[in-house]
Homo-oligomer: A and B are copies of this chain.
Amino acid sequence: MAPGKPTIYDIALLSGASPSTVSAVLNGSWPRRRISKKLVDAVTLIAAEQGYSTNMQARGLRQARSGLVGMIVPLHDNRFFSSLSQHFDAMARERGLCPVIASTLRNSDEERRVVETFISYSVDAIFIAGASDPEQLGALCTAANLKHIFIDLPGHDAPSVVTDNFDGAYRLTQKIIAAMPQSAVSHGEGIYFLGGSGSDHATTQRIKGYEAALGDAGQRALKDHIIPCGYVPAKTAQAMCSLCSQLGAVPSGLFVNSFTAFEGVMSHFVTLPSSAFDNSAIGCFDYDPFAAFLQFPVYMVRQDSHGLIAKAYELLDAGETASIMHVVKPQLIEPRTIAEGSIANLG
């Protein structure tokens, strides 16, 4: 046998069967082709001895499928997205598919290039998470007749699976209200909403949930309490700093939108004595186990990354293509708690 991996032709020569028969045996279609069990066993044995494995490029070329599923994330190096990746990967493998995850750094050119690459490799489907230009990508996929599902992102030309941001924000706000000093509540001091971008879907929904919870608790949501200063820690740090100096104290109620914003908040808080937090209730719409170890309690909302991916695969398996938004509720994490259900962080 020539160097390199053995092919069905090699196995055919060794077994005396024809290549097409070998193919049928090795891909499991032999009952339909009425191949005798005896031959099947013989061929299988030889294939195993030779260390045969099917060439997926050849199969993919012939079948116009590849067995690959792609996912686009902005970055790997992030708790939420890496958790999505983890589940995406595991559930792809369960289905006998090979996951391909690419990060695009929220760069729309890179996003386009990645989708084009996926198309070139004939991936069977794409999950799109955290894209900066989802419409562009949707259009590309549609043009290539490629199934795609948006994750935690509202899509227009395909199904999307998103966190119930309204619900999470509503429940988080409720918790913050309950944990605030009574005096602050009765004085109507309100809760500050910090971080995120007013133009993105998630933040918009969260603000609505926050406002609804305040309203239902008999408090008014004050427009000037909402400070969507972006996702960059430095910006949040600055906003937090000026807010504290303006109030002369840490706000009695604080809703931090996203963990990176929280990092910024912390880089200011770390300069304060721990008594500074005695009259504050703090919540964060995002989860990191380390927040359980801070000097003050933090309520957190954890997106159900498993639920998001599971729902997406469900839609994929069902062949769903209707442009419907499916909603998955997030989980509220009590202070000082390490969330379970995440795959162990095995160092």
Residue A338 at the B interface, CB < 8 A?
A: yes
Residue A334 at the B interface, CB < 8 A?
A: no
- Min CB gap A160→B, angstroms: 19
Residue A21 at the B interface, CB < 8 A?
A: no
Fill in one digit per residue for A77-97: 1 if any B CB lies within 8 Å of its CB, else 0. Answer: 111101101100110010000
Q: Once the chains bind, are A75 and B64 in contact (CB under 8 Å)? A: no
Residue A346 at the B interface, CB < 8 A?
A: yes
Residue A308 at the B interface, CB < 8 A?
A: no
Residue A263 at the B interface, CB < 8 A?
A: yes
Closest chain B residue, CB of each to CB of A114: B93
The stretch among A31-39, A211-219, A287-295, A325-333 that forms the contact with chain B is A287-295
Fill in one digit per residue for A38-56: 1 if any B CB lies within 8 Å of its CB, else 0. Answer: 0000000000000101111
The residues of B that contact A60 with a CB separation of less than 8 Å are 57
Fill in one digit per residue for A121-151: 1 if any B CB lies within 8 Å of its CB, else 0. Answer: 1100000000000000000000111000000
The residues of B that contact A143 with a CB separation of less than 8 Å are 51
Q: Once the chains bind, are B75 and A102 in contact (CB under 8 Å)? A: no
Given A57-B60, A103-B86, A346 and B290 touching (CB < 8 A)? no
Residue A5 at the B interface, CB < 8 A?
A: yes
Closest chain B residue, CB of each to CB of A290: B290
Residue A153 at the B interface, CB < 8 A?
A: no
- Min CB gap A99→B, angstroms: 7
Residue A276 at the B interface, CB < 8 A?
A: no
Given A56-B121, A77-B82, A121-B56, A145 and B3 touching (CB < 8 A)? yes
Cα–Cα, bound, A101→B260 (Å): 25
- Which residue of B99, B259, B270, B344 is within 8 Å of A232 (Cβ)? B344
- Most B CB contacts (10 A, CB to CB) among A113, A292, A342, A346 go to A346
Q: Once the chains bind, are A346 and B106 in contact (CB under 8 Å)? A: yes
Closest chain B residue, CB of each to CB of A116: B53
Q: Once the chains bind, are B51 and A57 in contact (CB under 8 Å)? A: no
- Which residue of B64, B99, B293 is within 8 Å of A102 (Cβ)? B99
Residue A258 at the B interface, CB < 8 A?
A: yes
Closest chain B residue, CB of each to CB of A61: B57
- Most B CB contacts (10 A, CB to CB) among A77, A86, A93, A267 go to A77
Given A78-B345, A231-B347, A347-B260, A57 and B106 touching (CB < 8 A)? no
- Which residue of B54, B76, B263, B274 is within 8 Å of A289 (Cβ)? B263
Q: Once the chains bind, are B61 and A61 in contact (CB under 8 Å)? A: yes
Cα–Cα, bound, A94→B114 (Å): 12
Q: Once the chains bind, are A58 and B61 in contact (CB under 8 Å)? A: yes
Closest chain B residue, CB of each to CB of A98: B117
Q: Once the chains bind, are B294 and A64 in contact (CB under 8 Å)? A: no
- Which residue of B53, B232, B293 is within 8 Å of A120 (Cβ)? B53
